[in-house]
Chain A
Amino acid sequence: MSRLASLPETWDVLIIGAGPAGMAAATVTASAGLSTLVVDEGPGPGGQIWRAIMTTPVMSRPILGSDYWAGAPAVRTFYESGATYLPSTQVWSLDADGVAGLSADGVARYVTAKRVVIATGAMERPFPVPGWTLPGVLTVGAAQGLLKTSGHYPSGRLVIAGTGPLVWLYAAQLLAAGGRISALLDTTDPGARLAATRSFPAFAASPYLAKGLTLMAKVRARVRVLRKVTALAIDGHDRATSVRFRRGAGSEEQIPADTVLLHQGVVPQVNLAMAAGVPHRWDDRQLCFVPELAPFGQTAVERIAIAGDGAGISGWEAAVERGRLAGIGAARALGISHDSLPSPDAPIRRLRTLARPRAFLDVFYRPAVAFRRPAPETIVCRCEEVTAGEVERAVEIGALGPAQLKSYTRCGMGPCQGRMCGLTVTELMAAKRGVSPAEIGYFRLRAPVKPITLAEIASLPVDGTIVKAVVRS
């Protein structure tokens, strides 16, 4: 029997996502005595960074590293906070009145919260290259989740391709777990390296430099790393069998692969917040849409705040602090006195420190244009199988933005609801029209932001106003 059915109807605070930010926010509000409901679509707490932290079969601590194990005390504190936690529960709608549609185990229902904190975190940036839809091609984040959740790692010929800290972190974790990597194709843009010089001093002053260099040295000692990769394609019939690539302006090379892992950074998950009406803006440094937020994560929608990487990518330590601030903000808004809440000063100071090295990472690992705006034959929308060329053609015949593009091509209208193509579409259309991505905007998102069955809709309680809306008197 689903726990949803017996759940109270109204809550002081609803927190969506049980990662670092969501747990930190819930810990603050529940400890302040506010009724706090935390829902998460995953089977356990921790989000992606601390995925399966309470159940992972990988008990040898050096494999996943200290950043991972930092999650265990955070989860224990969260469990002891008094918040009600619902795992394996989807939030398929959220509106400005704090009404959220939940579903779990085939049952759906609405709850209402006076304050909502969206802490749905990040997802990996789309990496559209020819062949990225073939079975056997996964993201680096997927492989890392597999390792955390079940201790699994790819055992055949493995090629990792892309850029960003996660590439190196996962490669090191995989080697420590006993895995092997045939080749690491580094797509880091040499031009970006140069542009990042200015922000290097702040990065060098942070612990990330030593951490990053250590990881890279570990990987380089055991893996063939091929740098300056400028073109990438995956070949195979029913599944991936090889990777074709170019280094610099060099000629095409090919290596066999049973599994290919792709990654080029992470971006905020925006679907739920956008569908709830939260205004977002284009971030030219992180090349993605981020919500417009006040210091405690508040949005233009009074009841809704956003914390964690969904508020802009800044890593798990910042996510914890932003979660605390969102929790404090929500509690204050509900009339809890400042004295009975933690002070926001420490999180604010810590966020300032954590922000300093971020500019370097954003610029240094900025994916190359060729991997953000792919060649015409490349599939951009995986669900509806729309290519980059078809997106550009739609612009030629008059599509001004993503909304028109949908009706021309069905791009973004499949099960993932634009998650896997949205940013590519924005950048392709902007370049084709010669305007900024900000002007193009993003898909217009609407509930349900997660699939819901007719049976689940039928299980919703019916009230008089709904009946009146469809029955003529």
Chain B
Amino acid sequence: MLARVDDRHQRTIHISIDGRAVEVRAGDTVATALLAADIAACRISAVSETPRGPYCLMGVCFECLVTVDGVGNRQGCLIEVREGMAIETQSRRREAGR
């Protein structure tokens, strides 16, 4: 649940989150895109398999790990969205090789 100050008009970019088409703004990070789409949880934890979501947004906590264009465990807060990017949450057991 995010609101937005938007003094400078940003370009719109089209990505997908878990196969769903989402419009985001240029300059947003993957983690921001998730939060803006009201996806608070982007993965399950390794031990108890409980939901986790972005926490520090500065590359430190590794909570916002998601699959970006097929590569798993990317830090969503450090990657800017790109046109056509496919983001997948890691909310089920990981598959080998991803």
- Interface of B, secondary structure class, is loop
Residue B96 CB within 8 A of the other chain: no
User: CA of A149 to CA of B6 in the docked complex: distance in angstroms?
Assistant: 11
- Interface of A, secondary structure class, is loop
Residue A304 CB within 8 A of the other chain: no
Residue A177 CB within 8 A of the other chain: yes
Find chain B residues with CB under 8 A from A258 CB: 1
Contact A419 B58 (CB under 8 A): no
Residue B86 CB within 8 A of the other chain: no
Contact B27 A416 (CB under 8 A): no
Contact A142 B3 (CB under 8 A): no
Please, what's the 1-or-0 string for B6-21, where 1 marks a CB less than 8 Å from any CB in chain A? 1111100000000000
User: CA of A385 to CA of B48 in the docked complex: distance in angstroms?
Assistant: 8
Please, what's the 1-or-0 string for B71-98, where 1 marks a CB less than 8 Å from any CB in chain A? 1010001111000000000000000000
**Residue with the greatest number of chain B CB neighbours at <10 A, chosen from A106, A143, A150:** A150
Contact A43 B60 (CB under 8 A): no
Choose from A55, A145, A179, A453 the contact partner of B27 (Cβ within 8 Å).
Answer: A55
Q: How far is the CB of A190 from chain B (nearest CB, A)?
A: 28
Residue B22 CB within 8 A of the other chain: no
Q: How far is the CB of B50 from chain A (nearest CB, A)?
A: 7
User: CA of A57 to CA of B24 in the docked complex: distance in angstroms?
Assistant: 13
Find chain B residues with CB under 8 A from A151 CB: 4-7
Find chain B residues with CB under 8 A from A239 CB: 40-41, 51, 53
User: CA of A177 to CA of B4 in the docked complex: distance in angstroms?
Assistant: 8
Contact B54 A138 (CB under 8 A): yes
Contact A146 B5 (CB under 8 A): no
User: CA of A338 to CA of B98 in the docked complex: distance in angstroms?
Assistant: 53
Find chain B residues with CB under 8 A from A416 CB: 60-62
Find chain A residues with CB under 8 A from B46 CB: 383-385, 414
Choose from B5, B47, B48, B58 the contact partner of A178 (Cβ within 8 Å).
Answer: B5
Find chain A residues with CB under 8 A from B59 CB: 41-42
Contact A419 B63 (CB under 8 A): no
Tally chain B residues at the interface, Cβ within 8 Å. 44
Choose from A41, A48, A133, A156 the contact partner of B50 (Cβ within 8 Å).
Answer: A133
Contact A177-B5, Cβ < 8 Å, known A41-B59, A150-B28: yes
Contact B60 A150 (CB under 8 A): no
Q: How far is the CB of A155 from chain B (nearest CB, A)?
A: 4
Contact A142 B5 (CB under 8 A): no
Contact B27 A57 (CB under 8 A): yes
Contact B8 A136 (CB under 8 A): no
Contact B55 A137 (CB under 8 A): yes
Contact A145 B58 (CB under 8 A): yes
Contact A138 B57 (CB under 8 A): yes
Find chain A residues with CB under 8 A from B73 CB: 415, 451
Contact A141 B58 (CB under 8 A): yes
Report the contact-size class of chain A (Cβ under 8 Å from the partner).
35 or more
Q: Which of A29-37, A58-66, A311-319, A459-467 contacts B (4 or more CB under 8 A)?
A: A58-66
Contact A142 B27 (CB under 8 A): no
Contact B47 A385 (CB under 8 A): yes
Contact A52 B27 (CB under 8 A): yes
Kindly identify, within residues 23 to 47 of chain B, every residue whose CB is under 8 Å from any CB belonging to chain A. 25, 27-29, 32, 35-36, 40-41, 45-47
User: CA of A146 to CA of B8 in the docked complex: distance in angstroms?
Assistant: 15
Contact A153 B5 (CB under 8 A): yes
Q: How far is the CB of A177 from chain B (nearest CB, A)?
A: 5
Find chain A residues with CB under 8 A from B6 CB: 57, 151
Find chain A residues with CB under 8 A from B45 CB: 133, 382-383, 385
Contact A141-B27, Cβ < 8 Å, known A59-B8, A155-B2, A178-B5: no
Contact A142-B65, Cβ < 8 Å, known A58-B5, A154-B2, A239-B41: no
Find chain A residues with CB under 8 A from B1 CB: 154-156, 258-259
Q: Add 14 more A-B contacts to A419-B62, A420-B60 (CB < 8 A).
A: A135-B41, A136-B53, A138-B54, A141-B58, A142-B58, A150-B28, A150-B32, A151-B6, A153-B2, A382-B45, A382-B63, A383-B62, A415-B62, A420-B61
5 closest residue pairs by CB, A with B: A135-B53, A59-B7, A135-B40, A142-B57, A415-B62
| A residues in contact (CB < 8 Å) with B | 41-43, 48, 52, 55-60, 63, 88, 106, 123-124, 133-139, 141-143, 145-147, 149-156, 177-179, 238-239, 258-259, 269, 382-385, 414-416, 419-420, 451, 453
A–B Cβ pairs within 8 angstroms, 5 of them: A57-B25, A124-B56, A133-B45, A153-B4, A415-B73
